[in-house]
Amino acid sequence: MSLTNSAGTKLEIVAGAPATEDIAGFGALTYAEVGEIETMGAIGAVVQIGTFNSITKKVTDKYEGAIDPGDMSLGLARDAADVGQAVFDAAIGNGVHSVKLTDSNGLIVYFTCLVGSYTTNYGDINSVVKAEVNLALKILPVAGQ
């Protein structure tokens, strides 16, 4: 088994959706790298589970429902001069954005999202001013090299 270290992972973002939601479409975009990322949350689909309770069987039937592409949270050191963070700042309420995530092994994952939040956390006297971002994925992630 090959393990992947999070160190060296980078995230890039650009306003708008690609012409096509495949590797070629995402690869044609020009992204801004987001700096000072401290934490990246999990990404991946979540299947909603529906249920039905029959009074005759007395056992709950379960079935797969809608697939939610999920959300991704980011924790950043706030940097007003960072071009990628400026995209987050301008993104609130401004439609779809495209994201390129490259892990330390070179695996690239693309997705479109809505930027749900970009907030500032001042913390305490010993804290770095941080930003918290929530990305609501609009499609299932597309992986490629």
The predicted-structure confidence for 90-108, as pLDDT tens digits, reads as follows: 999 999 999 999 999 899 9
Q: Which residues contact 53 (CB under 8 A, 6 or more apart)?
A: 60, 61
E strands of 3-95, at which residues? 10-15, 32-33, 37-40, 46-53, 60-68, 71-77
- pLDDT tens profile 20-43: 999 999 999 999 999 999 999 999
1 pLDDT tier (thresholds 50, 70, 90): low
Task: Give the model confidence (pLDDT) of 37-62 as tens digits.
Answer: 999 999 999 999 999 999 999 899 99
Sequence-ordered alpha helix ranges (H) in 28-132: 83-91
Enter the pTM of the model: 0.89
The answer to whether 76 and 37 have CB atoms below 8 angstroms apart is yes
